[in-house]
Amino acid sequence: MMQSGIPLCNTCGEQVGLDANGEVFVACHECNFPVCKTCFDLDIKEGRKACLRCGTPYYDENSLADDETKVSGTRSTMAAHLDNSQEIGIHARHVSNVSAVDSELNDEYGNPIWKNRVESWKDKKDKKSKKKKGAPKEEKVAQIPPEQQMTENHSPDAAEPLSTIIPLPPNKITPYRVVIIMRLIILALFFHYRVTNPVDSAYGLWLTSIICEIWFAFSWVLDQFPKWYPVNRTTFTDRLSARYEREGEPSELAAVDFFVSTVDPLKEPPLITANTVLSILAVDYPVDKVSCYVSDDGAAMLTFESLAETSEFARKWVPFCKNFSIEPRAPEFYFSQKIDYLKDKVQPSFVKERRAMKRDYEEFKVRMNALVAKAQKTPEDGWTMQDGTAWPGNNSRDHPGMIQVFLGHSGAYDIEGNELPRLVYVSREKRPGYPHHKKAGAENALVRVSAVLTNAPYILNLDCDHYVNNSQAIREAMCFLMDPQVGREVCFVQFPQRFDGIDRSDRYANRNTVFFDVNMKGLDGIQGPVYVGTGCCFNRQALYGYGPPSMPSLPKASSSSCSWCGCCSCCCPSKKPSKDLSEAYRDTKREELDAAIFNLREIDNYDEYERSMLISQTSFEKTFGLSTVFIESTLMENGGVAESSNPSTLIKEAIHVISCGYEEKTAWGKEIGWIYGSITEDILTGFKMHCRGWRSIYCMPLRPAFKGSAPINLSDRLHQVLRWALGSVEIFLSRHCPLWYGFAGGRLKWLQRLAYINTIVYPFTSLPLVAYCTIPAICLLTGKFIIPTLSNLASALFLGLFMSIIVTSVLELRWSGVSIEDIWRNEQFWVIGGVSAHLFAVFQGFLKMLAGIDTNFTVTSKQAEDSDFGELYMIKWTTLLIPPTTLLIVNMVGIVAGFSDALNKGYEAWGPLFGKVFFAFWVILHLYPFLKGLMGRQNRTPTIVVLWSVLLASVFSLVWVKINPFVSKVDSSALAQSCISIDC
């Protein structure tokens, strides 16, 4: 936040102040990291002479001279050790509130000191060597981190950012914000009118509608305000190459570990998984920086054999893609493109090579289909491998851990003799009685395996049906993660999900265009988009539970918290912190910088003071598990396998870290890695990172980075939405509910918290939505209405409300670029999903979390038609189809009853009928895609669905006529007396 144009110090929170020339004080002229003069002098005094963000040494001759005179060679503090070492370019690290069981050393707030890391363990040797007198001056230069050396050698390029933010033009975003404020005012006036004008003849009906409308308004606020600061971003991959890929020198780009997860090869076809793997192996990135890990959580021999075939085909496919710049680099989708494949191709040999490659791919498909056909029937004695031994995973619920390196750095070459990326098959151990946590547990196993074998600093996870559509996607992510000014605060870069095989009209809003092109852009302007489960590139350190480097640890109870939202000044501007709070910030920062962690194997070589300041291996093991190799890998910020590790034992260690008991009594799934406790582990994992103070980035390259497949028929789509909604309900009922979790640290911005609250409460909208969709039918059957006779003021309010809704949508279309058809489809499926999947998710979630009853709504498929989008018309029986079908029938019956009643009553009844029929048609119009999908191509609706729905609608109509609960009762004796008086 800025006050009077002067930035706030990142250490103490006060203004950085002015220098002697009256200009804003700047400590680091390389990255302009905001540090005030007082904190800067303290850093120099205690021997820290490099910028905490970029590692560039401070150049202040006076401070350096003062520091040299004040430093005493007899000091026994850790500050003295750091001062004597004169380690230029130290990158301070610390971690956020990660709970460690039985930590040996805690600070005054109860936070374990082991989390406060200054430097990696391998810096110890440099530190010890520089203690000797007369150390050569060249050794100091050798200590400078590689990224700092690059910056000094190429300062002109280093000054250029690798990405830039493009704010929306004021003429687009300002009217949008104004209309939102106006809509809030109109809503306030509208509810004032609705509450002060009850309908006495149908009081219960009126009260129900008021409650529903208030919830809808609350839901709209939760959805709208996180869109307050939408931004676009542009990357400069050419600058990335110029900075990290200099000609004649090894590439300095960071390594990336790809994670691909699969479970059942009969439901997730191996050919689709193979295409995903091939697109990864052929990505436009240095081959020695790419490793692909495939998690087979079903321990299927079919997956293992299909990967063996894929690795062989990759020797031909990868050089073909790179020689001719093929896009996309998944063969199935490349050869199925209905475009001119000769466009922009100039090599005469391309046509011949393409035909040969297509023939090879067809043969590859035949081999894969043969494997699938063989796997349809499991032998009685189980599967047997080629060497005659039994397949270890014959029992998918009880088998040992399995790792196979198909492509590695020894002998993994393509047909042209070029090196190929690493490809590793992983199936974690499964034993009865152990919790395995489904996908989240499999991802955490991959984190540990990759840390032992390759330990890339960044991780990109993909579902098995999401292939790399843009070979430059990794470079796009690195433009954020490797940018010295941006990357140190970024926990992950999320790409939008794009899909193949969806019909042009997108009947069931499978593309989720509104979410990915509107909501996520809005979140990117606050603290970053949410993690959506796939197509996301992580900072490995963030997965380990560390906080961002420049974020100081805050007291649990901070006096600077907002009184109404619980967030600190990082959420919104606040008053200048008091002097006591500033001192607390500085003390906390000094304590973090004084704590260091070195090589655990050489801990006995330290003196008593150093040993008292270091963490014992036991504390690490209680957090990360019993693996010294893995623990050492967590201390290497820039990745890479430790030099002290023995290559011959790495596979054995990798098998150890995927054992089913490895996570017992550790922080895995609680504070580090993918978080357990919900089937939507993606939302929970991203939420924890944002609560630690990290921010995320939304990257939307012109060519979609990744593409996948989505269920396009009605039943599968509803089942998918049910799973998402159930995960949200689970989070709502857990300790990680955004309504109360993470307030103590104050690192989650309040608009970001609103967004996370929206992701967990939206299923509860189903309850008022079902009631509101039933009200029109009730009004038509009873002849009553929820709105009294309208006055001129009321008519103006209703007209203003409808106009504000329309204008908001139009302006949202204008700044987001989303089509009106996409917004309308999203609106329709909001109703369809709300009255079906979301409703079932709420009841299932409460039964599961409160009563321990796990209710499954199974889906049974029928045969699909062999034509384009044949699956679109495939109907599967599921309980989810009953509520929306019932609402359709009830409203249709209500319309017929309403018109019949108007015909009997005469001309004066047609006016009130219009409003009732309008709302009934509103319901039917929103449910029309459901009705169309239910009827199918030839009215192939499951009979059981029709029977149940007609039965429920009939019972509802008959009971309603008999009971009529929402209409006020009239005294029959008074009515008789009135009739007598009239007759008289």
Residues sharing a CB contact under 8 Å with residue 292, sequence separation 6 or more, in sequence order: 258, 260, 277, 280, 281, 421, 422, 423, 424
* Structure-token pair, residue 850: 């409160």
* Structure-token pair, residue 965: 């609960």
The gap between the terminal CA atoms of the chain, to the nearest Å, is: 81
267 is in an annotated binding site: yes
Catalytic residue among 123, 682, 716, 822: 682
Secondary structure of 311-324 in the HEC alphabet? HHHHHHHHHHHHHH
Rounded CA gap, 852 and 844, in Å? 10
The answer to whether residues 452 and 624 touch, using CB atoms and an 8 Å cutoff, is: no
**SS3 state at 259:** strand
Rounded CA gap, 297 and 300, in Å? 8
**SS3 state at 405:** strand
438 is in an annotated binding site: yes
Rounded CA gap, 127 and 121, in Å? 11
**682 among known catalytic residues:** yes
Rounded CA gap, 416 and 315, in Å? 8
Counting Cα atoms < 13 Å in the Cβ hemisphere of 977 gives 5
Residue 166 has φ and ψ, to the nearest 5°, of -115, 95
Catalytic residue among 67, 297, 524, 716: 297
Residue 289 has φ and ψ, to the nearest 5°, of -105, 0
**Cis amide prior to 328 (ω within 30 degrees):** yes
Q: Give kind and range of the element (H or E) at residue 361.
A: helix 350-375
Question: Which one, of 50, 236, 234, lies nearest residue 158 by Cα?
Answer: 236
Q: How buried is residue 894: exposed, middle or buried, by Cβ count under 10 Å (0-12/13-18/19+)?
A: buried
Q: How buried is residue 608: exposed, middle or buried, by Cβ count under 10 Å (0-12/13-18/19+)?
A: exposed
Question: Which one, of 99, 142, 127, lies nearest residue 610 by Cα?
Answer: 127
**344 among known catalytic residues:** no
Residue 448 CA, chain-centre distance (Å), reads: 20
Rg (CA), the chain: 32
Total residues found in the chain within this entry? 984
The answer to whether residues 42 and 586 touch, using CB atoms and an 8 Å cutoff, is: yes
Rounded CA gap, 532 and 763, in Å? 17
> What residue type is 827 in one-letter code?
E
The answer to whether residues 334 and 326 touch, using CB atoms and an 8 Å cutoff, is: yes
- Tell me how crowded residue 572 is: count the other CB atoms within 10 A of its CB: 13
Rounded CA gap, 692 and 553, in Å? 10
Rounded CA gap, 465 and 500, in Å? 10
463 is in an annotated binding site: yes
The answer to whether residues 688 and 485 touch, using CB atoms and an 8 Å cutoff, is: no
DSSP characters for 590-622?
A: HHHHH-----GGGGGGS-HHHHHHSPPHHHHHH
Packing angle of the helix pair 766-782, 882-905 (nearest 10 deg): 30
Counting Cα atoms < 13 Å in the Cβ hemisphere of 853 gives 8
- Tell me how crowded residue 837 is: count the other CB atoms within 10 A of its CB: 28
The answer to whether residues 860 and 743 touch, using CB atoms and an 8 Å cutoff, is: no
Q: What 8-state DSSP symbol labels residue 114? A: G
The answer to whether residues 285 and 265 touch, using CB atoms and an 8 Å cutoff, is: no
45 is in an annotated binding site: no
Q: Is the dihedral of CA 551, 552, 556, 560 positive or negative?
A: negative
Rounded CA gap, 440 and 437, in Å? 6
Active site residues: 297, 682
Binding site residues, as ranges?
A: 261, 267-268, 297, 438-439, 463
Binding site residues for Mn(2+), as ranges?
A: 439, 463
